[in-house]
Amino acid sequence: MRGYLFVLVVAAAVTYLTTPAARRIARRFGAITEVRERDVHTVPIPRLGGTAIYLGIAVSLLIASRVPFFEGIFDSREPWIVLLCAGAICLLGVADDLWTLDAVTKFAGQALVAGVMAWQGLQLVLLPLGGVWIPSPGVLIVLTVLAVVICINAVNFVDGLDGLAAGIVAIAGSAFFVYAYLLTKDLNKQDYSSLAALITASLVGACVGFLPHNFNPARIFMGDSGSMLIGLLLAASTVEITGKIDPDAVYAGRILPAFLPVVLPLAVIALPLIDLFLAVFRRTRAGQKFWQPDKLHLHHRMLAIGHSHMRAVLILYFWTATVGFGVALFAVLPAHWASLIAALSVLLALALTLGPLRGRLAAARLAALEAGRSIAEANRIAAAAQEAEDAEAQGTAVATHDPDVDPALRVAEGPEVPGAPAPGKAS
């Protein structure tokens, strides 16, 4: 465990110390995220934070290669393949941060990097589909590429609030690290070093080191160079662990222990995956290209129901921990205790999420977002609705003169009566 903690600390320290340099370089070369209609930030922010994250991961892995505990891992070429592919996806992200690549070019680059990684041996080993084990190398390479590309874009889609993607991946990676470490230790009492645990420790460290610069209010964004990088590394660690699936356990009827290496990777990225699939469904149903951005991601909806920026991020952190650690608990606790803790955590997460939901206020803000208004406009409309609601509660009818407010939200003053005194004046 001390070896993994050492790697985590090195990755965090290098990332933290190199991020200010990445911010200066981003400003010098114009890699700035301007304020767009769908954005939450209010001033232009430099990106290219992914370069500092990559440096932290690269340095930590290079140092780990000299640590005796990890010698068995670096006897194979897989760690170097991961590092090279991570560098390639980071460079693709840098190009997008600088020149804004089109979606097809990015998708092709992601598929190419994932294909090289799978072709070089880091791929799904066995996969149960419909009760049938798929051992075909060709099919598994295709499925590996698909899984990696989905994970990359899921993390990319969720990167919409300060500190959100880095925090979610740090929490998800921590849950996955616990499981990977315990699984490897259980399988091999003599040498429990694991490539999946090593990658995850380095990834968690880099995300933790980046967060002080990226948490609200952010001084730098990770950009696509960061979101695609951490998505790839999270996918690489989860793909590697599928080699620990025990088919004999499945045949013996012990389904849960055998399928945890498949279920847990899905659980730790459940939030980004849900956001990705909802976005694809929503945009396709509306007749749009699925990669066209909108303002209806999960984090936008959290803001719409009344959460502040920071509170929305923290609640989404809690959801990630609830799902990721909730599934990981089944590896260390009896099923009934793990189920109870997971259920209580879900109830608490729901209470935190729905706490500020207040009639017209949330409905007005969400309706404005769905109508294509900017977040600032949605907040203004919701504030007008709140004023009307407060006035009603005091028994005073108030009319709003904001032309952007939905007529259904207006409170009618009623017709003027000739000769009647003006409101608030003595007769």
Low-confidence winner among 100-109, 290-299, 399-408, 412-421 (lowest mean pLDDT): 412-421
Give the pLDDT confidence score for residue 220 in this predicted structure.
Answer: 95
Residue 284 has pLDDT above 80, yes or no: yes
Q: What average pLDDT does this structure show over 282-310?
A: 78
- Looking at residue 376, its amino acid is A
pLDDT tens by residue, 333-354: 888 898 999 999 999 999 988 8
Residue 360 has pLDDT above 60, yes or no: no
Give the pLDDT confidence score for residue 58 in this predicted structure.
Answer: 97
Q: What average pLDDT does this structure show over 220-237?
A: 94
Give the pLDDT confidence score for residue 397 in this predicted structure.
Answer: 44
Element (H, E) at 392: helix 375-393
User: Is the four-CA dihedral 184, 177, 195, 274 of positive or negative sign?
Assistant: positive
Residue 192 phi, psi (nearest 5): -110, 30
User: Is the four-CA dihedral 201, 207, 208, 210 of positive or negative sign?
Assistant: positive
In 30-163, alpha helices (H): 49-64, 71-74, 78-99, 103-119, 137-158
Give the pLDDT confidence score for residue 97 in this predicted structure.
Answer: 93
For the chain, how big is the Rg over CA atoms in Å? 25
Complete DSSP assignment for 320-349: HHHHHHHHHGGGTS-HHHHHHHHHHHHHHH
Give the pLDDT confidence score for residue 262 in this predicted structure.
Answer: 63
Give the pLDDT confidence score for residue 413 in this predicted structure.
Answer: 42
Residue 208 has pLDDT above 90, yes or no: yes
How far is CA 270 from its chain centroid? 9
Percent of the chain with pLDDT over 90: 40
Domain ranges of the chain: 2-285, 359-409
Global pTM value:
0.79
Give the range with max mean pLDDT: 220-224, 356-360, 383-387, 415-419: 220-224
Give the pLDDT confidence score for residue 55 in this predicted structure.
Answer: 97
- As a whole number, the mean pLDDT across the chain is 80
Low-confidence winner among 111-120, 246-255, 290-299, 380-389 (lowest mean pLDDT): 246-255
Q: What average pLDDT does this structure show over 299-323?
A: 85
Residue 251 has pLDDT above 50, yes or no: no
Q: What average pLDDT does this structure show over 42-49?
A: 89
Residue 4 has pLDDT above 50, yes or no: yes
pLDDT band at 416 (very low <50, low <70, confident <90, very high): very low
pLDDT band at 308 (very low <50, low <70, confident <90, very high): confident
Give the pLDDT confidence score for residue 253 in this predicted structure.
Answer: 43
Element (H, E) at 133: strand 132-134
pLDDT tens by residue, 362-409: 666 666 666 666 555 666 666 676 666 666 666 644 444 455 555 444
pLDDT band at 42 (very low <50, low <70, confident <90, very high): low
Give the pLDDT confidence score for residue 314 in this predicted structure.
Answer: 92
How many Cα atoms occupy the beta-carbon half-sphere of 332 within 13 Å?
A: 15
